[in-house]
Structure 1
């Protein structure tokens, strides 16, 4: 049986945790044994999906500052806290004796966690037999604009990793679109397809809405939620049934303001455990353009308006939205169009067009990841995923 140590750390958003758990489910379904080292705060609806979960002392980002870390009580990380996490992680590695070690995001992200990841990877490389070491990344990266930072990433990949699994469809976007030095590690890069939710048969059962507004965790979704709520009365879908999913980090004060804005048939939820199924029954989705949201949209097949997060720093969602728009897969609004009037106008445009043709996209990223890892653990070639 193939044994896997999978490291996952969330600092603010939780989308990549759910992507990782979809992968874990495919790995365990394929008969692999997964040890999951989980370093973030607990989140609702987290499921182990067959993995043995090791909860490290939690770490989170300070506000929106990803380069500053704190413990759950809001205290800056101490050397003792870092040492405790590092020793726990090395203990998990020693006990698991994995055939494969996977780091989610690192070294393309999670560089704040080098204090424990570098010792983990260096120790793994000295093990006999040595595990296959893999970086697991989404298809579109946050662009740094700093060549020295990208050079450091290349050096880490070259010295510590055997492969980089890019969870995207290479026909839509390749790694070099957002990582300019990708050509230097082309021999290590493998494309898995998009890690989408499991496809379920179309059904009228469950919650059913015409329009679903969602913003992921909600930390940076307030403006879109408020604009979409106000757009309802201005739109051709004013009499339709809407569901607005605010996210778990939507404040009580913002919810009170939202209640003053909504009218007609509107349901407010802070979280939908089965968003993909709800979207499959919907006529329209209005959302950000995060990885999991787009994966859900591609699986659901409904019409979509995406408004990428744009805070002057974030680039990943902007690039994703550009690609969706260019391929006719969604109507995209820029951040300066995040108003009730523009959203209402976009609803008119998107509802006048046929539903997008998304079946041509490779949505078997989780299953393909399991196949790739099985082959790599057995020492076989996987050239077909380049």
Structure 2
């Protein structure tokens, strides 16, 4: 007998959360589990959801990088009536699924704005005898809070509702303690899974990507400055000026902005939307230039391609900077601050990265399989 699993995921700005959740869902499906993934925002078109039942809640996203305001699919601030409808829909999904395992992505270590639906979900799951396991799924690095009390409340929520916390990191590189001051309080719940990485193996056409500079930005929101600098950096680079620069623009970036980037590209520069064969392009590339989101960084590490990381750091965001600096300290990448980025600085960083050797990746990246194994094992203990 294998358990049924309900995964809750809400991505507000980038797409890394839903990509990671889907990877774990597919690993559970391969173990024979029936997996339903309930999504609080529109998944990217490149997402592999093969074998999963996807249920869409009324979509919500952050209006900007401050995460202070949530807006609906029409760009309007969400209302109390909207919250009521979405909460009711989420609880209906739980009742219909009757899951043996409930897995929440990020919560309780984030998504406080969604407490109006998540706390009722937790209460319902705790009250149902058949749901034997409630687990949280978090990436390697959390975003520190200015108000320490908020972080303490995260730990308290974990202790109140959760049986297990899966931390998707290699503890030899990054530990929960590095970004969460109350990690000691939840240490007995924590299992490190390794990084969650399941590359899409879609193949580019035979000549695409070979010896190119691949510039990427995940979902695309918040990467416009990087993309514009990359448009003008090619001619300034000594080591990469003769290569084709391929800019992959995320699907969440506005169509008008995308069109302006296409119109501005010059000789030797290709501008197109993000594509599912991105990992294979990196395998063929001379250089990668990207932000430092969880999934993109893993794609870069898996390929071994020399890399420039320009971590997203708007509105005090520190998660990507911490990840990039951890890799730069191991001489794996060249890290450039977003606030100082210019085409000339990007070109010089590209030249410096191309002086780095390609290296084998020693990082544990089997986190999806380990997550599935751990969830099933812990569920079996509680049967």
The alignment status of 1:238 with 2:252, answered yes or no, reads no
Residue 308 (structure 1) aligns with = 311
User: In the superposition, relative to structure 1, how do residues 204 and 217 fare at CA in structure 2: closer, same or farther (>3 Å)?
Assistant: closer
- Residue 275 (str. 1) matches residue 292 (str. 2): no
- 2:201 and 2:63 map into 1 onto residues whose CA distance is 38
1:230-276, Cα deviation, whole Å (9 max, x unpaired) = 11001121111221112224445544654565433221112112211
8 Å contact 1:6–1:102 — kept in the other structure?
yes
**Equivalent position to 1:247, from 247, 250, 269:** 250
How far apart are 1:48 and its partner, in Å? 2.7
Give the deviation of 1:42 after TM superposition.
Answer: 4.8
Deviations 1:303-356 (A, max 9, x none): 101011122410101100110101122111122431111121122222122113
Any conservation in 2 of the 1:25–1:50 contact (CA below 8 Å)? yes
After superposition, where does 1:9-158 map in structure 2 within 5 Å? 9-158=10-159
1:337 matched to 2:340? The reply is yes
- Determine the structure 2 residue equivalent to 1:172: 173
Distance (Å, rounded) in 2 between the aligned partners of 1:145 and 1:135: 23
Shift in Å, 1:107: 0.9
CA distance, structure 2, for counterparts of residue 59 and residue 379 of structure 1: 36
TM-score, with structure 1 as normaliser? 0.92
1-side partners of 2:188 and 2:161: how far apart? 14
For 1:128 and 1:119, the matched residues in 2 are separated by 16
Q: Give 1:202 shift.
A: 9.7
Look up the match of 1:295: 298
Asked whether 1:355 is paired with 2:365, we answer no
Give the aligned partner of residue 6 of structure 1.
Answer: 7
Are the equivalent residues in 1 in contact too, given 2:262–2:272 (CA < 8 A)? no
Which residue of structure 2 lines up, in the alignment, with residue 383 of structure 1?
none
> 1:214 & 1:82 partners in 2: Cα distance?
34
Partner of 1:220: 222
Q: Number of aligned residue pairs: give it.
A: 379
Alpha carbons of structure 1 residues 72 and 47: separation in structure 2 relative to 1, 3 Å: same
Residues in 1 aligned to 2:233 and 2:215: alpha-carbon distance in whole angstroms? 11
Which ranges in structure 2 are unaligned for 5 or more consecutive residues? none
Q: 1: CA distance between counterparts of 2:67 and 2:351?
A: 38
RMSD: 2.1
Distance 1:45 1:344 in 2: 29
- CA shift digits 1:177-213 (9 cap, x unpaired): 0111101111011111111124859998463241100
Does the 8 A contact of 2:308 with 2:334 survive in 1? yes
Moved more, 68-77 or 303-312: 68-77
In the alignment, the residues of structure 1 paired with residue 358 and residue 75 of structure 2 have an alpha-carbon distance, to the nearest angstrom, of 46
